[in-house]
């Protein structure tokens, strides 16, 4: 579990549950309404795409099956809740949106340390102290023992390449969103325009015991072990309701392989039976290139303001950041259901060495994240392993 | 405030390699986008119409400049103009009140029309209009040209203001679509039934398409996306679209209304003789802004004015002026708003400045390159296109036969008993019968001017096949030219980003291009068979009403916006050349209406694609029910 960071003055921190929902775009407005009804406070929305494998009808005997990627509009919605409310909200969403049906979406829950200004639902109703461990009770109908995998990729269309590999390996339904990278590129002066800043961010969820193996496999398959291709990291997921169907179109059997695996998981009550990789230490030299003591720091602020915080991070020693455009919807809990003032927001994600987290938070707070905008917040979560290209010596 | 970052110095060699890689990527992209239209026109010219290429070097320079211009202009849009527009759109609602935003929208619309004057394109399409056939149309293009520009500007201004209002209150685009369509259909029907207004239907509809130029569209699009994101009232990531559609529709209404006001004041002189007669001189002068304009027009009637062809340097200089005016006037307005209302430093100022410079240089090279290359090629093919079904004279191959002996002229008789004269011309050991025209014989020197004729590719009973060939040509040309339109590329890129790649830029560009191709074919059909414009325009618009009602909000806005981006710097010169070429042969004096048809079919194409995608999404969500596993 994360070490706590000393709390800057005037800032409230707490360990909370972050719920991320990837939802089919056609259901997104219904989800907004449900979140407002459930009184989750402010939630952040960004467009994404859900990628599935589509098996087309066989056209001739020569080409027995045609597999292509099917891209569908989706939205990534995230919000934080006190851990004692997670069960009620998550269960209600799963029941209403039936994530167990194909093409609807997925939901997962993480524990994060959240820093935010003033009074808010999340922190006010959180009775736990900063040091108290969050509730880890598993939720009915949710899968546990999972790890989140995020790939931040530089090349156009690399997102689909990772998604296809993940789908073919039967990992889960991948969701891709967009971001803009800042880092070394911004220190090149005007020459930076020659390097595309756009990034594709792929999010996957895999069983704990397979996550590193899958990471290595995807890194190899998608050549992330080449300079400038991108990086990836793993983080713990408390529980999740994942979309069951990775493949659409012609089905030759009564149940898909994902449905069979899901059923066995449920019978055995665990996922370790399907370990397919040796432990990380026994594998290739990439295991050595994984960094262990890292944190994911997510910074949310109104759009156009993240530059100064990223500059501060860069001064402190953070090598790069990825910023995505998001919208802040919902209501402020203590504002009598008045809508959020500024809708356009940004989420900046940085992978930071644990030793830098404290000075980073202090620096950003000193820069006025919580003074200038009452919607600013920082969320920090553990990173169990991070991979990025390192030049061989 | 962002702190200054430390700069990293990289070796010159590495920097050069980065720049070379970047430039070559951009050039290859644009080379691909123009390859189709260039190849298509060349194949048509060389192998179907069999016309040799004149000035191949200038043509090649023109094409190279077009590719370079497109690459620079698009990069300028992406680096400078669009981020600036989006930033201001994002900040305005935070920093100021709605009336100020509406006023800014109106001023932006007004200045867009003056920055990118559509009147030049309209005048080109109406260059063959004569005052005795279409007096109101002629007066609009000459005496009331300033009124026309001001009316179009007001239309665009009101439209951008309406667009901002829509974002502020999160209103759907659909009521605007239905409202404008019904108003436009009604106005068109009223005009079609009134003989004095019938002639302006084409120009009214075309004025909608040509107002939205290559600088205005991306700026307005970016501004709309910024404002919509800031208000966020519709809670949809793609709610920033729709302003371009309004900016295309409102000027049409405005031009119809102007024409209705002016129609009673315009004198009608029904023939060339009546127009030129001295007793009608006073009335004829009323069609012109000044006596000098009238005299100059009379002079052009009596002598053939040869088009003066400018050199490459002069052409580029002319385009530099118009490009700088368009970009600086529009971005200047944005920068003023930034300083006065937003009062905030824009992100990456150096990139925005570079973008503005690249836009000006790119637009200059693009305009010059198109005039020297693609337009010339299009003009050659467009003006010769009627040879597909009708024989044509080839004046550039004319020969002066010295001391022509009229004794060689012989008589022949036509099936209806008419007597015609001809003589044998010996060329390259071949004897060819050639018709004799006495008026080509010089009265004093006895020189005879022989202008060779090219027989129709599909003549006689195959004429219809020749006309179908023209429709096919129009389709391919519309498709190919639209693939290279910069404003469409900017729209495609924005759509792809906002939909996170679920609606790919290529899909949108190809769909719109197919629509433009179909629209141009319809336009040619109108000219060839003299079909009334309302008969071709109204049915697709009426069909669009239920389709729009059925389609998703975001696709409706994108589809209707795509109408405004189709008529840009690549398509317009080619369409005008083709319209005039075919119109001249079949006796239709104006090429109006073709651009309007080239706008409506892309809306139809994108709407249908949107409905298909939506249906697909529905099927994905109900896959389990379909498989019976739920």
Is 80 exceeded by the pLDDT of residue B213?
A: no
Distance CA B270, CA B283 (A): 12
Place of tokens 């500059």: A311
pLDDT of residue A4: 53
pLDDT of residue B626: 59
Which tens digit of pLDDT belongs to each residue from B390-443?
Answer: 777 777 777 888 888 888 889 898 888 888 888 888 877 788 888 888 888 887
Q: How far is CA B370 from the centre of its chain?
A: 13
Q: Is residue A382 part of a domain?
A: yes
Is 90 exceeded by the pLDDT of residue B358?
A: yes
Which tens digit of pLDDT belongs to each residue from B231-272?
Answer: 876 556 667 888 888 988 999 999 999 999 988 887 776 777
Q: Is residue A276 part of a domain?
A: yes
Contacts of A248 in chain B (CB under 8 A): 620, 623
pLDDT of residue B432: 83
Three-state SS annotation for chain A:
CCCCCCCCCCEEEEEEEEEEEEEEHHHHHHHHHHHHHCCCCEEEEEEEEEEEEEEECCCCCCCCCEEEEEEEEEEEEEEEECHHHHHHHHHHHHHHHCCCCCCCEEEEEEEEEEEEECCCHHHHCCCCCCCCCCCCCCCCCCECCEEEEEEEECCCCHHHHHHHHHHHCCCCCCEEEEEEEECHHHHCHHHHHHCCCEEEEEEEEEEHHHHHHHHHHHHHHCCCCCCCCEEEEEEEECEEECCCCCEEECCCCCCCHHHHHHHHHHHHCCCHHHCCCCCHHHCCCHHHHEECCEEEEEEEEECCCHHHHHHHHHHHCCCCEEEEEEEEEEECCCCCCCECCCCEEEEEEEEEEHHHHHHHHHHHHHCCHHHHCCCCEEEEEEECEEEECCCCC
A307 at interface of B, judged by CB pairs closer than 8 A: yes
pLDDT of residue A281: 46
pLDDT of residue B27: 92
pLDDT of residue A48: 94
Contacts of A342 in chain B (CB under 8 A): 94, 230
B9 Cα to chain A: minimum distance (Å):
7
pLDDT of residue A6: 62
Least confident of A102-111, B77-86, B191-200, B539-548: B191-200
Q: Is residue A251 part of a domain?
A: yes
Q: Is residue A4 part of a domain?
A: no
Contacts of A343 in chain B (CB under 8 A): 229-232
Give the pLDDT band (50/70/90) at residue A90.
Answer: very high
Give the pLDDT band (50/70/90) at residue A269.
Answer: low
Measure CB to CB from residue B5 to each of A71, A178, A186 and give the nearest one: A186
Which tens digit of pLDDT belongs to each residue from A112-161?
Answer: 999 887 644 444 444 444 444 455 456 777 888 899 999 999 887 889 99
Measure CB to CB from residue B3 to each of A73, A75, A311 and give the nearest one: A311
Most B CBs within 10 Å: which of A22, A23, A24, A25, as the mutation test of the B interface? A25
SS3 call for B73: helix
- Mean pLDDT along residues B184-190: 92
A190 Cα to chain B: minimum distance (Å):
7
Contacts of A73 in chain B (CB under 8 A): 499-500, 502-503, 617
Measure CB to CB from residue A311 to each of B5, B90, B624 and give the nearest one: B5
Residue scoring higher pLDDT (B457 or A88): A88
Query: Are B509 and B492 within 8 A, CB to CB?
Result: yes
Question: A67 - beta bridge partners?
Answer: A55
Structural domain span for residue A371: 11-388
pLDDT of residue B293: 76
Q: How far apart are the first and last CA of chain A?
A: 33
Which tens digit of pLDDT belongs to each residue from A174-184?
Answer: 999 999 988 77
Distance CA B127, CA B576 (A): 10
Give the pLDDT band (50/70/90) at residue A7.
Answer: low
Q: Is residue A186 part of a domain?
A: yes
Least confident of A375-379, B44-48, B540-544: B44-48
Handedness of CA B236, B238, B240, B244 (dihedral sign): negative
Question: Which chain B residue lies closest to A183 (C-alpha atoms)?
Answer: B5
CB contact under 8 A, A311 and B498: no
Which tens digit of pLDDT belongs to each residue from B466-487?
Answer: 888 888 888 998 999 999 898 8
CB contact under 8 A, B7 and A188: yes
Is 80 exceeded by the pLDDT of residue B209?
A: no
pLDDT of residue A62: 60
Distance CA A300, CA B122 (A): 50
- Mean pLDDT along residues B449-466: 75
Query: Are A206 and A274 within 8 A, CB to CB?
Result: no
Q: Is residue A3 part of a domain?
A: no
Is 80 exceeded by the pLDDT of residue B152?
A: yes
Give CA angle at B68 (B63, B73), nearest 5°. Answer: 125
Give the pLDDT band (50/70/90) at residue A20.
Answer: very high
Average pLDDT, chain B: 83
Is 80 exceeded by the pLDDT of residue A57?
A: no
> How much is the ipTM here?
0.84
Distance CA A168, CA A161 (A): 11
Measure CB to CB from residue B630 to each of A71, A101, A314 and give the nearest one: A101
Measure CB to CB from residue B502 to each of A46, A72, A103 and give the nearest one: A72
Is 80 exceeded by the pLDDT of residue B116?
A: no
Q: Is residue A1 part of a domain?
A: no
Is 60 exceeded by the pLDDT of residue B308?
A: no
Average pLDDT, chain A: 81
Q: How far apart are the first and last CA of chain B?
A: 54
Distance CA B185, CA B196 (A): 18
pLDDT of residue B630: 41
Give the pLDDT band (50/70/90) at residue B2.
Answer: very low
Question: Which chain A residue lies closest to B350 (C-alpha atoms)?
Answer: A190
Contacts of B15 in chain A (CB under 8 A): 191
Q: Which of residues 7-66 of A touch B (CB under 8 A)?
A: 24-27, 29, 32, 45-49, 52
Which tens digit of pLDDT belongs to each residue from A46-56?
Answer: 999 999 988 77
Least confident of A27-36, A227-236, B38-47, B451-460: B451-460
CB contact under 8 A, A71 and B502: yes
pLDDT of residue A77: 95
Residue scoring higher pLDDT (A85 or B630): A85
pLDDT of residue A337: 41
For residue B146, the number of C-alpha atoms closer than 13 Å in the C-beta half-sphere is 4
Task: Among A86-95, A119-128, A325-334, B460-469, name the most confident range.
Answer: A86-95
Domain count, chain A: 1
Query: Are B254 and B155 within 8 A, CB to CB?
Result: yes
Backbone angles phi, psi at A205, to 5 degrees: -130, 130
Most B CBs within 10 Å: which of A45, A156, A186, A193, as the mutation test of the B interface? A193
pLDDT of residue A108: 94
Most B CBs within 10 Å: which of A73, A181, A310, as the mutation test of the B interface? A73
Q: Is residue A174 part of a domain?
A: yes
Query: How many other β-carbons are positioned within 10 Å of the β-carbon of residue B552?
Result: 18
Nearest to B378 by CA among B585, B523, B571, B528: B571
Measure CB to CB from residue A47 to each of B21, B75, B498 and give the nearest one: B498
């Amino acid at each position: 579990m994360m070490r706590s960071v000393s709390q800057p003055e005037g800032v409230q921190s707490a360990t909370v549950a972050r719920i991320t929902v990837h939802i089919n775009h056609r259901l997104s407005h219904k989800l907004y309404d449900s979140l407002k009804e459930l009184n989750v406070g402010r939630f952040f929305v960004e467009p994404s795409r859900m990628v599935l494998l589509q098996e087309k009808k066989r056209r001739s005997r020569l080409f027995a099956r045609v597999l292509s990627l099917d891209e569908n509009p989706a939205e990534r919605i995230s919000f934080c809740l006190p851990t004692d409310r997670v069960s009620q909200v998550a269960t209600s969403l799963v029941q209403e949106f039936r994530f167990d049906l194909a093409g609807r979406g997925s939901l997962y829950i993480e524990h994060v340390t959240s820093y935010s200004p003033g009074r808010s639902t999340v922190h006010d109703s959180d009775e736990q102290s900063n040091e108290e461990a969050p509730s880890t009770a598993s939720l009915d109908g949710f899968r546990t023992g999972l790890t989140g995998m995020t790939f931040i990729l530089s090349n156009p269309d690399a997102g689909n390449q990772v998604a296809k590999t993940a789908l073919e390996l039967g990992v889960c339904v991948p969701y891709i969103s967009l971001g803009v990278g800042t880092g070394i590129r911004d220190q090149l002066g005007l020459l930076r325009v020659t390097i595309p800043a756009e990034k594709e961010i792929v999010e996957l969820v895999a069983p704990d015991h397979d996550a590193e193996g899958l990471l290595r496999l995807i890194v190899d398959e998608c050549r992330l072990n080449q300079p400038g291709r991108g990086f990836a990291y793993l983080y713990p997921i408390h529980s999740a309701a994942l979309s069951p169907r990775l493949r659409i179109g012609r089905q030759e059997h009564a149940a898909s392989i994902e449905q069979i695996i899901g059923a066995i998981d449920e019978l055995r009550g665990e996922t370790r039976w399907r370990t397919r990789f040796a432990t990380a230490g026994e594998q290739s030299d990439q295991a050595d290139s994984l960094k262990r003591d890292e944190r994911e720091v997510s910074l949310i602020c109104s759009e156009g303001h993240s530059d100064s915080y990223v500059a501060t991070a860069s001064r402190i020693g953070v090598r790069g950041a990825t910023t995505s455009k998001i919208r802040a919807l919902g209501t402020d809990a203590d504002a009598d259901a008045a809508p959020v003032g500024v809708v356009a927001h940004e989420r900046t994600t940085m992978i930071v060495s644990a030793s830098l987290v404290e000075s980073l938070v202090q620096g950003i707070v000193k820069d006025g994240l919580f003074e200038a905008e009452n919607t600013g917040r920082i969320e920090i979560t553990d990173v169990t392993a991070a991979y990025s290209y390192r030049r061989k010596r | 405030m962002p702190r200054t970052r430390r700069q990293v110095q990289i070796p010159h060699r590495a920097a050069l390699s980065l720049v070379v890689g970047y430039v070559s990527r951009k050039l290859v992209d644009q080379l691909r986008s123009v390859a189709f239209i260039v190849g298509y026109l060349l194949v048509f010219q060389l192998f179907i119409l069999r016309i040799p290429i004149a000035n191949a070097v200038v043509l090649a320079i023109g094409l190279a400049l077009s590719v370079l211009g497109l690459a620079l202009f698009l990069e300028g849009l992406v680096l400078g103009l669009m981020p600036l527009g989006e930033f201001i759109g994002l900040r305005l609602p935070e920093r100021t009140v709605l009336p100020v935003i509406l006023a800014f929208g109106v001023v932006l619309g007004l200045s867009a029309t003056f920055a990118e004057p559509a009147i030049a394109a309209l005048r080109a399409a109406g260059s063959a209009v004569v005052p005795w056939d279409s007096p109101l149309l002629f007066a609009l293009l000459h005496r009331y040209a300033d009124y026309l520009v001001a009316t179009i500007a007001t239309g665009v201004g009101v439209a951008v203001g309406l667009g901002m209002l829509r974002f502020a209150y999160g209103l759907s685009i659909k009521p605007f679509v239905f409202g404008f369509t019904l108003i436009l259909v009604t106005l068109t029907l009223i005009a079609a039934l009134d003989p004095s207004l019938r002639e302006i239907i084409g120009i009214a509809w075309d004025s909608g398409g040509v107002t939205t130029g290559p600088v205005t569209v991306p700026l307005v699009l970016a501004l709309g996306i910024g404002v919509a994101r800031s208000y966020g009232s519709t809670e949809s990531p793609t709610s920033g679209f729709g302003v371009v559609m309004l900016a295309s529709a409102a000027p049409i209404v405005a031009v119809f209304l102007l024409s209705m006001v002016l129609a009673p004041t315009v004198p009608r002189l029904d023939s060339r003789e009546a127009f030129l007669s001295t007793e009608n001189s006073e009335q004829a002068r009323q069609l012109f802004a000044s006596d000098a304009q009238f005299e100059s027009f009379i002079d052009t009637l009596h002598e053939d004015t040869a088009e003066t062809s400018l050199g490459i340097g002069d052409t580029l200089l002319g385009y530099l002026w118009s490009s700088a005016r368009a970009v600086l006037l529009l971005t200047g307005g944005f920068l003023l708003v930034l300083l006065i209302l937003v009062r905030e430093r824009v992100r990456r100022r150096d990139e925005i400045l570079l973008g503005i410079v690249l836009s000006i240089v790119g637009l200059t090279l693009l305009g010059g390159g198109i005039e020297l290359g693609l337009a010339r090629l299009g003009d050659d093919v467009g003006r010769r296109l009627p040879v597909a079904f009708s024989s044509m004279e080839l004046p550039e191959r004319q020969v002066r036969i010295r001391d022509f002996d009229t004794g060689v002229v012989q008589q022949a008789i036509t099936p209806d008993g008419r007597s015609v004269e001809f003589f044998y011309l010996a060329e390259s050991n071949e004897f060819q019968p050639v018709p004799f025209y006495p008026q080509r014989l010089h009265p004093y020197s006895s020189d005879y001017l022989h202008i060779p004729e090219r027989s129709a590719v599909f003549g006689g009973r195959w004429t219809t096949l020749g006309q179908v060939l023209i429709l096919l040509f129009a389709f391919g040309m519309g498709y190919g030219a639209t693939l290279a339109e910069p404003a469409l590329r900017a729209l495609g890129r924005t759509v792809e980003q906002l939909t996170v790649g679920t609606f790919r830029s290529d899909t949108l560009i190809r769909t719109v291009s197919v629509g433009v191709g179909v629209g141009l074919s319809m336009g040619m059909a109108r000219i060839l068979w003299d079909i009334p414009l309302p008969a071709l325009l109204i049915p697709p618009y009426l069909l669009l009403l239920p389709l729009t009602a059925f389609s998703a909000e975001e696709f409706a806005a994108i589809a209707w916006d795509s109408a405004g981006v189709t008529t840009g710097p690549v398509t317009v010169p080619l369409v005008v050349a083709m319209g005039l070429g075919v119109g001249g042969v079949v006796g239709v004096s104006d090429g109006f209406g073709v651009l309007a048809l080239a706008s409506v079919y892309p809306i139809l194409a994108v709407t249908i694609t949107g409905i298909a995608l939506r249906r697909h999404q529905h099927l994905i969500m109900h896959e389990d029910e379909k498989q019976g596993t739920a």
